[in-house]
Amino acid sequence: MDDTIEPNQPPLPTLMHVLLALYVIGGCIGLSGVATIGLVANDRFVNLTSGMGLCLLGLVAFLQYRGTFRRRAASARGAAYLTGVASVTCFLTVGIVPQSAPLTQLAASVTLVATAYSNAQWAKYLRSYEREGGVLPQESKFTLGEIALLLGIIAVVLGIGSYGVRLRHPNHGYHTTSLITPSGWDIENATLVSYFHDFDYHRWEFSCTEEEFLASWESSYPKLRPIATPVVVEKITASRSLETKKITNGWDTGPTKSGWQMTYDRNTHRGFLRRKLD
């Protein structure tokens, strides 16, 4: 933005500021699509955080658009604050957030710093323009073009979300015929196999003899021990839900470093297998 203020000339953002604004808006759209996946998770905490994330991403995109393309100083200032906070958060979580490349996350943090600075300068320029007697456009209604753009964005967000959901394994199966896990482990004679996959865990439940269960884990999981205190497992139901169940007689590994937990109920001859996702 130029330092010289000309009241008769409408203020225009620089090309760099427009590109940074589009980067932020595009990022918000993409992340919103990812967040919609969490809305259908079988976990209320994931549902809540995903909903809050959608609201926050929508606010950032709205302020960025309004500040840049509608020339609103207050919105530009708000976008500067939020992108600044986002840059700090992104930097502090480098290497911590799962399934994210550290270099990509670091580059995003630097870009957000540049965007926050550009937003602050643009807000300052708009305030100076008004103090010098310039009149900024004050449209309060959405144009037809903006409404069409908004509908297109909603379609993109829903498209990303639905694609992400379809990429996952079938969420639920009840009393199927075979047990094969992603690790390649299986019990040949397992029957009445059920599975339930959500965003935090993959779960399997099956029937087999105690000897088959112990033989399957003997070489790889020596921590399988007799149950001394009640163990709570999640029982898979036919209605696509989970019910807690206490097991007092059988075998259990407890949570392992690899994320697997195996439990066997001697009374019902049912095995329970759970894998925590990264």
State the pLDDT at residue 97.
64
- SS3 per residue for the chain: CCCCCCCCCCCCCCHHHHHHHHHHHHHHHHHHHHHHHHCCCCCHHHHHHHHHHHHHHHHHHHHHHHHHHCCCHHHHHHHHHHHHHHHHHHHHCCCCCCCCCHHHHHHHHHHHHHHHHHHHHHHHHHHHHHHCCCCCCCCCCCCHHHHHHHHHHHHHHHHHHHHHHHHCCCCEEEEECCCECCCCCECCCCEEEEEEECCCEEEEEEECCHHHHHHHHCCCCCCCEECCCCEEEEEECCCCCEEEEEECCEEECCCCCCCEEEEEECCCCEEEEEEECC
Tell whether 181 and 104 lie within a shared domain: no
3 pLDDT band, cuts 50/70/90, is low
State the pLDDT at residue 62.
95
CA 185, CA 273: separation in Å to the nearest integer?
11
At 48-66, the pLDDT tens digits run: 989 999 999 999 999 999 9
Tell whether 176 and 61 lie within a shared domain: no
State the pLDDT at residue 118.
96
Tell whether 183 and 141 lie within a shared domain: no
Rounded average pLDDT over 8-25: 89
Nearest to 13 by CA among 81, 82, 70: 70
CA 58, CA 73: separation in Å to the nearest integer?
19
191 or 233: whose pLDDT is higher? 233
Rounded average pLDDT over 10-32: 93
User: Is residue 201 a part of any domain in this protein?
Assistant: yes
User: Is residue 7 a part of any domain in this protein?
Assistant: no
Range of lowest pLDDT (32-36, 66-70, 168-172, 243-247): 168-172
pTM: 0.63
Tell whether 75 and 177 lie within a shared domain: no
Rounded average pLDDT over 233-259: 88
Tell whether 82 and 181 lie within a shared domain: no
State the pLDDT at residue 179.
61
| The pLDDT of residue 27 is above 80 | yes
Tokens of 65: 């658009």
| The pLDDT of residue 7 is above 60 | no
163 pLDDT band, cuts 50/70/90, is confident
User: Is residue 3 a part of any domain in this protein?
Assistant: no
Tell whether 212 and 142 lie within a shared domain: no
At 92-113, the pLDDT tens digits run: 887 776 556 788 888 999 999 9
Split into its structural domains, the chain has a count of 2
Nearest to 61 by CA among 160, 146, 164: 146
Tell whether 115 and 190 lie within a shared domain: no
User: Is residue 68 a part of any domain in this protein?
Assistant: yes
State the pLDDT at residue 8.
58
State the pLDDT at residue 98.
59
E strand or H helix that includes residue 148 = helix 144-167
| The pLDDT of residue 116 is above 90 | yes
| The pLDDT of residue 135 is above 90 | no
| The pLDDT of residue 31 is above 60 | yes
Tell whether 176 and 253 lie within a shared domain: yes
Tell whether 163 and 179 lie within a shared domain: no
Tell whether 163 and 176 lie within a shared domain: no
State the pLDDT at residue 195.
86
186 or 261: whose pLDDT is higher? 261
Helices (runs of H) and strands (runs of E) counted in the chain: 6, 9
Tell whether 198 and 157 lie within a shared domain: no
Domain that holds residue 219: 172-276
